[in-house]
A = this chain, B = another copy of it.
């Protein structure tokens, strides 16, 4: 996972700066599961879980895994697991992120 833009890093930090989404990642770390099961486990209304997981998925922090799928046709149940990201937050790394990324023309 390559985070070249500071904007992308902000998006990822925003996604991770939420207790519900962190709990989701923690839970999916133990065992991949579908949104419905996740919602039940974390005691969340399904649409909320769906929304939060959608955000994580969109940023690539969580991925769809095909586990225990029903053969014969498309899978009815979608399983999710965390993707193996690693972000090291230090002042130096933050500084690098905000160094003029756009070189002056000529």
Contacts and interface: CB of A to CB of B under 8 A. Distances in A.
Interface residues of A, number: 34
Which of A6, A16, A30 has the most chain B CB atoms closer than 10 A to its own CB? A16
B94 A84 contact: no
A29 B91 contact: yes
Interface stretch (A19-27, A47-55, A71-79): A19-27
A87 B4 CA distance: 19
A92 interface: yes
A17 B19 contact: no
Interface in A60-106: 82-92, 94-95, 97-99
A102 to B, nearest CB: 15
